[in-house]
Structure 1
Amino acid sequence: MPAPPPHSAGIPASRRAQIGAGLSDSLGVGLGIFPLGIALGVLVVQAGLPWWVSPALAIGVFAGSVELLLVGMLAAATPLVTIAVTVLAVNFRHVFYALSFPITRVRPGLPRAYSVYAMVDEAYATYALMPAEKLSSARMVTGQLAMQLYWVGGGLLGVWVAGALPAPIEGFEFALVALFIVMTLDALRSKREVPSALLAGLAAAVALIAFPQQALLAALIMFTAGLALRYAVTRGAAHA
């Protein structure tokens, strides 16, 4: 009877298959994450920040668009309170991800802790609706780890690209503005999001006029209050 083929590095075949599936899951979103990472690295260097800020943000924050926002805030020596409130407001949606993310499929301990930490938009979109029988701890953690490596690696490549350029790219900092414009246009495609966009525009205008030195913080507070008021009014009307 022929001996079974040896498993590479002592990893069972089923586990290797799940790791491979996780890597495959990450490829599609990696095509979007990696270029954004490059943009992050270039922005860090062009903002006059040390190169290590790019991997530090990609590892310490790892939330996507907020890292790009933080580059400008750090370069402008924005107060810590404003930075903290901004990060909380931009990333608050992650709290709701936990309600439907299949975290119970991840092994308790370090793997589950990492999966919670790496629960970014792309990971949620990849695994939240995937059939439970296809999910495993190895697959999900591998996919999330690969997504973060694309982000960190793209940032490091961006740092190198920025250092190799003979002169700064004029207007490159507009990449973040363009990103949020696209996100806003996507939201406006749904008619029910028009009031939210109007609230955001009104909050920004009032904040710029009334609180020019703390416009971002003031706009976020007013926008949050406006959303809460809108929710209360629409809910009351629905139950009337």
Structure 2
Amino acid sequence: MPMSSPEPDAAPPLSALALTTPVAMGYIPLGIVFGFLFVQAGGAGWLAILTSIFVYAGASQYMMIPMLAAGLPIGTIALATLVVNLRHVFYGLSLLDRFPARGPLRAYLIFALTDETFSLLTTLPASTPPRRLALVAALNHFWWVLGSSIGALVGAQARLTLAGLDFCLAALFAVLTVEQWRSKQSPAPLWIALGAYAIVTVLAPSHALLLAIALSVLGGVFWQSRANPATEAADD
């Protein structure tokens, strides 16, 4: 009797681990900095760890450190976090059809959708099972919590030099951008995003990110509307 081939759903965990390694190189040092600064600002180490587990908002967690130190109410911090992470609404919609229709797996994938996780998930084939998507998201989450834990538990007792670690995030985005470019057949999305950001940086630098996202969405819709007639004509 011939041996049955393994199901495509059974993706080895090692492949997901290798996929998230570039993210780990950015998340762990940045998480260490967050945990360290959180404790230095007067917060408890365990609270820094819980924040990374249940908030998991990257830049918003850095933003909340001086806000907590200033004694601002939780409602104000929550509103600021919502505004900073509003960009997730724009690109998260493109993955909803790939998530489970309901259940805790769908809820976790929505919760764990960071910029870097989105970049990795969009490089995976459309047939990738939701369980593997969740594994990739969970590993990225783990890297951030691990870094935050190290920073909170060790950073408060050591005198560490943090200069230069801020470059980790820029380097991480550069790596992910290259991976996005290599995985797409057309470079149009990248050029649209770069062009949109260049325009709004000149016209409205204080709102560059939000306006660049909006322009990118409009540019993507326009590009897709131009590509669809050409595809239909080819099919005819």
Which TM-score tier does this pair reach, normalised by the shorter chain? 0.5 to 0.7
Give the one of 148, 158, 176 matched to 1:155: 148
Question: In the alignment, is the contact (CA less than 8 A) between 2:41 and 2:65 conserved in 1?
Answer: yes
Identity between Structure 1 and Structure 2 (%): 31
Indicate which of 173, 189, 205 corresponds to 1:198. Answer: 205
Is the Cα contact below 8 Å between 2:29 and 2:165 reproduced in 1?
A: no
Q: Which runs of 5+ in 1 are unaligned?
A: 5-11, 202-222, 232-240
Sort the Cα spacing of 1:47 and 1:197 in 2 relative to 1 into closer, same or farther, 3 A.
farther
Alignment of 1:75-94 (within 5 A): 75-94=69-88
88, 110, 118: which is aligned to 1:124? 118
Q: Quick one: which amino acid aligns to residue 51 of structure 2?
A: L
CA shift in 2, pair 1:174/1:21, >3 Å: closer
| Counterpart amino acid of residue 42 in structure 1 | F
Hey, what does 1:99 align to over in structure 2?
Answer: 93
1:17 alignment partner, SS class: coil
The structure-2 alpha-carbon separation of the partners of 1:18 and 1:175, relative to structure 1 and needing over 3 Å to count, comes to: closer
Superposition pairs of residues 34-183 of structure 1, within 5 angstroms:
34-101=28-95, 103-106=97-100, 108-133=102-127, 135-165=128-158, 167=159
Q: Tell me how far 1:43 sits from its aligned partner.
A: 0.6
- The answer on whether the counterparts of 1:37 and 1:151 sit within 8 Å (CA) in structure 2 is yes
Task: Work out which of the two has the higher radius of gyration on C-alpha atoms and give 1 or 2.
Answer: 1
Where do 4+ consecutive residues of structure 1 move more than 3 Å? 12-16, 105-108, 172-176, 186-190, 195-201
Cα-Cα RMSD: 3.7
User: What residue number does 2:230 align with?
Assistant: none
CA shift in 2, pair 1:154/1:19, >3 Å: same
Offset, 1:104? 2.5
After superposition, the C-alpha distances for 1:99-154 in whole angstroms (9 at most, x for unaligned) are 21255244741211111111111111111243213x11121111100111101110
Instruction: Quote the Cα distance in structure 2 between the aligned partners of 1:157 and 1:13.
Output: 38
Matched AA of 1:65: A
**Cα deviation, residue 31, structure 1:** 1.0
Letter in structure 1 aligned against 2:39: V
The one-letter amino acid of 1:198's match is P
Aligned 8 A contact 1:21 1:139 in 2: no
- For 1:41, the aligned partner's letter is G
Alignment TM-score, normalising by the size of structure 1: 0.65
